[in-house]
């Protein structure tokens, strides 16, 4: 992404990567689904963070990966958006 991505674009990016590449989920998985309950583990999270860095140029510090920020795709997207500042 050459310009600063919107929160909506970040949410869609994270959701697509999770759904298509990292998790084995069905149609009940939504941007509001809990990521840990959906099966996101530390390896998957690392892969996700690498993809986010590749697409946005921003690395999210591990200290930001709180249970609250992993509650959903939307929560993680807000965390990434804050890291862009």
How many residues would you count in the chain? 85
Cβ atoms of 39 and 25 closer than 8 Å: yes
Spatial separation of the C-alpha atoms in residues 60 and 33, rounded to whole Å:
20
Contact yes or no for 22/48 (Cβ under 8 A): yes
Per-residue pLDDT in tens (0 to 9) along the chain, 85 residues: 458 899 999 999 999 999 999 999 999 999 999 999 999 999 999 999 999 999 999 999 989 999 999 999 999 999 999 998 7
Domains of the chain: 7-84 (1.10.1200.10)
User: How far apart, in Å, do the first and last CA atoms of the chain sit?
Assistant: 15
For the whole prediction, is pTM greater than 0.85?
A: yes
């Amino acid at each position: 992404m050459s310009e600063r991505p919107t929160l909506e674009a970040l949410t869609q990016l994270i959701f697509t990567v999770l759904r298509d590449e990292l998790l084995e989920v069905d149609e009940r998985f939504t941007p509001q689904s809990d990521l840990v309950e959906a099966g996101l583990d530390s390896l998957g999270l690392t892969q996700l963070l690498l993809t986010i860095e590749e697409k946005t140029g921003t690395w999210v510090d591990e200290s930001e990966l709180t249970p609250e920020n992993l509650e959903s795709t939307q929560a993680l997207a807000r965390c990434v958006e804050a890291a862009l500042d």
